[in-house]
Amino acid sequence: MTLGRMGACFSVVTLLSCAPVVLDQAVKAPVMPEMTVGATYNSSSFTLENGMEVVIVPIANAPIVHMQFTYRVGSNDEEPGKSGLAHYLEHLMFRAGEKANAGHLEQVAQAGGSSNAYTSNEVTSYFNAVPPEKFEETLKSEAQRIRALTNDESGAAVELDVVKREKTQRGDSTAAKFYEKLLAAIWGDRPNGRPVIGTDADLNGLTLADARAFHAKWYGASNIGLVIAGKITVPQAAELVMRYMAPLPASPVPKRPWRKLPLPTAKFEPLVVRGPDVGTPSLLRTRLISYPDVLKPTAQAAILVASQAVAGSADSRLSRPLVYTDPVATGVSFSARGQMNGALTVSIAASPLDLNDLSGLDKRLSTELDTVRTKPITDAEVEKVKKRYLAALEQMRDKPASVASTFSNAFVIGQPPADTENWPAVVKAVSAKQANDALQILLSPGPWLDARLLPRESARKTEPSKPKKSEPK
């Protein structure tokens, strides 16, 4: 479990799809909703009467069925003094429920599959990969743990100890401490600045009652996006979804007030973190900005193309001069991540070729960024970026986990499945003007947080790393 950025008929599933579903005569069978069919992924999507959003993507040549349940809740939604609760609940979801349920992890493992989950500040997601003939069994187990959380106090205490040990293990890493301090420095007292795994003081105060209340508030069917991708047909998957998910009761979707908070405006102070387990020094520049329509596909596509042109490949604007032509870095990256509160986190990271000369890399980076700001991205660069990205996207279309993740990420920010289906066309339509307009916003004047992750020693007299042998074509 971690924290928080693609058929044929088979045995049991075949019988279920070919025979009518027999329900208790006293229970009114849910009505199959109207489906929307996409052309790119061949997805079929619909919303159940209880509010659960469902996407089914058949992939005939896949060996498994991958299902991903995504809940619009994360550490940002915790009450003050309850940090780490969302992640603690993630652990408890793998425990047995109130009714006969052997424990989700054990059940999936016995079926020959795998199951895991992650919690971020904005979302919690659970995923299973199972043989097609075990799809129904796993879907039924998911329905059970949506309905009710464990009431086993001793088991809950064991999971809380596991979470605490996980925090200790991760906290011992200098990189983890660096990241926590970085978030706090950027976001201040906003929920995004809290560690997802929680603080020691808050974890010590968490109870099973806290987790059960959080589950009851946030884990209703109306707050779930379900994506099923792999070796299963739409009729097979839809019928079983109707059997096990449609009967779940609807629930109110809680408001998320943190999405309306203004961005921090305080001036950043330089951040330097040192540790004995740091091998290669790193420098990082990061900032928060408001970006118009940052959660809309057209804006996201322009940001993607601009970011890739800057540092997405060996021949990009920063990588070519800093890593190849006149090398001073072993690697450089440029990223722009949209937040659900409308913010955009822009980050530039690099590691020096000469471990003793981080300042030299810093100066060169500033020089190249000035060039990026003043020299527009060309049509040829944009076309090369789009061609490379769309080719990679095409390769992921037969990978169930990648497909499920793609649709799940869209669900989190409120984008309908149609936006995911249309995403390749939106990327293909990005012009050089749109990419340059996006880049000017990403690199617009304003404060940046300068951060350094360094070895404990103030200076390391080490032989420089070898530069890249060949310049990109």
Whether 34 is in a domain gets the answer: yes
Listed in order, strand segments (DSSP E) in 155-244 are 224-230
Cα distance between residue 325 and residue 117, in whole Å: 42
Under 8 Å between Cβ of 35 and 241: no
- DSSP-derived 3-state class of residue 34: coil
Does 312 share its domain with 182?
A: no
Last residue of a domain, one of 206, 228, 257: 257
- Among the candidates 257, 284, 299, a domain finishes at 257
Residues 245 and 296 in one domain: no
Residue 422 half-sphere exposure toward CB, CA atoms < 13 A: 11
Adjacency order of strands within the sheet including 224-230: 2-3, 114-119, 124-130, 65-71, 224-230, 53-58, 44-47, 36-37
- Asked which of 14-18, 99-103, 146-150, 424-428 is least confident by mean pLDDT, the reply is 14-18
Bin 32: left if φ > 0, else alpha if -120 < ψ < 50, else beta: beta
Same domain, 220 and 245: yes
CATH of the domain at 129: 3.30.830.10
Q: Can you tell me the distance from the alpha carbon of 326 to that of 310, in angstroms, rounded to the nearest whole number?
A: 17
Q: Is residue 314 part of a domain?
A: yes
Q: Are residues 94 and 129 in the same domain?
A: yes
**Do 175 and 292 share a domain, yes or no?**
no
Amino acid 426: pLDDT: 98
Kindly state the DSSP code that residue 36 receives in the 8-state scheme. Answer: E
Tell me which residue range forms the domain holding 75: 2-257
310 & 375 share domain: yes
Residue 459 has pLDDT above 60, yes or no: no
Lowest mean pLDDT of 14-28, 171-185, 436-450, name the range.
Answer: 14-28
Let me know the angle formed at the C-alpha of 226 by 224 and 232, rounded to the nearest 5 degrees: 165
Between 24 and 390, name the one with better pLDDT.
390
Cβ contact 305:385 at 8 Å = yes
Question: Which whole number is the average pLDDT over 169-181?
Answer: 89
Query: Per the structure, how many domains does the chain have?
Result: 2
In a domain, residue 447? The reply is yes
Q: What is the DSSP letter of 324?
A: I
In this structure, the answer to whether residues 309 and 187 fall within a common structural domain is no
Q: Is residue 471 included in any domain, yes or no?
A: no
Please give the residue that has the higher pLDDT: either 108 or 121.
121
For residue 13, the model assigns a pLDDT of 26
Identify whether residues 96 and 228 lie together within a single domain: yes
Backbone angles phi, psi at 194, to 5 degrees: -85, 145
Question: Does 190 share its domain with 286?
Answer: no
Co-location of 6 and 36 in the same domain: yes
| Four-residue CA torsion sign, 195, 200, 205, 207 | positive
Q: Look up residue 251 and give its two tokens.
A: 């629930």
Q: Give me the sign of the Cα torsion angle 441, 346, 304, 258.
A: negative
Of 257, 287, 317, the domain-final residue: 257
Alpha helices by DSSP H, 346-459: 358-374, 379-395, 400-412, 417-428, 432-442
Can you tell me the distance from the alpha carbon of 105 to that of 219, in angstroms, rounded to the nearest whole number? Answer: 19
Residues 6+ apart with CB under 8 A from 367: none
Question: Is 193 a member of any domain?
Answer: yes
Q: Is the pLDDT of residue 310 over 50?
A: yes
Residue 199, in any domain of the structure? yes
Question: What is the tens place of the pLDDT at every residue in 244-300?
Answer: 999 999 999 999 999 888 888 878 999 999 999 999 999 999 999 988 899 999 999
Q: What is the pLDDT of residue 265?
A: 80
pLDDT band (50, 70, 90) for residue 380: very high
Residue 172 has pLDDT above 90, yes or no: no
Q: Is residue 467 part of a domain?
A: no
In a shared domain, residues 401 and 313: yes
Specify whether the CB–CB gap between 452 and 271 falls below 8 A.
yes
Residues 195 and 286 in one domain: no
Do the domain assignments include residue 461? Answer: no
